[in-house]
Amino acid sequence: MMSVPTTFRVIDLRVSIGVDAIIRGISMDFFANTVTSIMGPSGCGKTTFIRCMNRLHELVPSIQVSGDIVLFNQNIFSVNPMLIRRQVGMVFQRPNPFPTMSIFENVVAGYRLNGIRLAKSESSQIVETSLLKAGLWHEVKDSLHRKGAFLSGGQQQRLCIARALAMDPSVLLLDEPTSALDPKSTSHIEDLIAELKESVSIIMVTHNIGQASRVSDYTAFFLAGELVEYGTTQKLFTVPDDPRTEEYLSRKFG
Full domain range(s) for residue 114? 6-249
Domain membership flag for residue 1 = no
pTM for the model stands at 0.94
Q: What is the CATH number of the domain that holds 85?
A: 3.40.50.300
Interatomic CA distance for residues 145 and 137, integer angstroms: 13
How many domains are there within the chain?
A: 1
CB 218 within 8 A of CB 233: yes
Per-residue pLDDT of the chain (254 residues; tens, 9 = 90+): 446 789 999 999 999 998 899 999 999 999 999 999 999 999 999 999 999 999 999 988 899 999 999 999 999 999 999 999 999 999 999 899 999 999 999 999 999 888 899 999 999 999 999 999 999 999 999 999 999 888 999 999 999 999 999 999 999 999 999 998 999 999 999 999 999 999 999 999 998 999 999 999 999 999 999 999 999 999 999 999 999 999 999 986 55
CB 69 within 8 A of CB 249: no
Residue 18 CB neighbours (<10 A): 8
Residue 117 CB neighbours (<10 A): 8
CB 154 within 8 A of CB 96: no
Interatomic CA distance for residues 234 and 231, integer angstroms: 8
Q: Left, alpha or beta for 84 (phi > 0: left; psi -120 to 50: alpha)?
A: alpha
Domain membership flag for residue 254 = no
Interatomic CA distance for residues 70 and 109, integer angstroms: 27
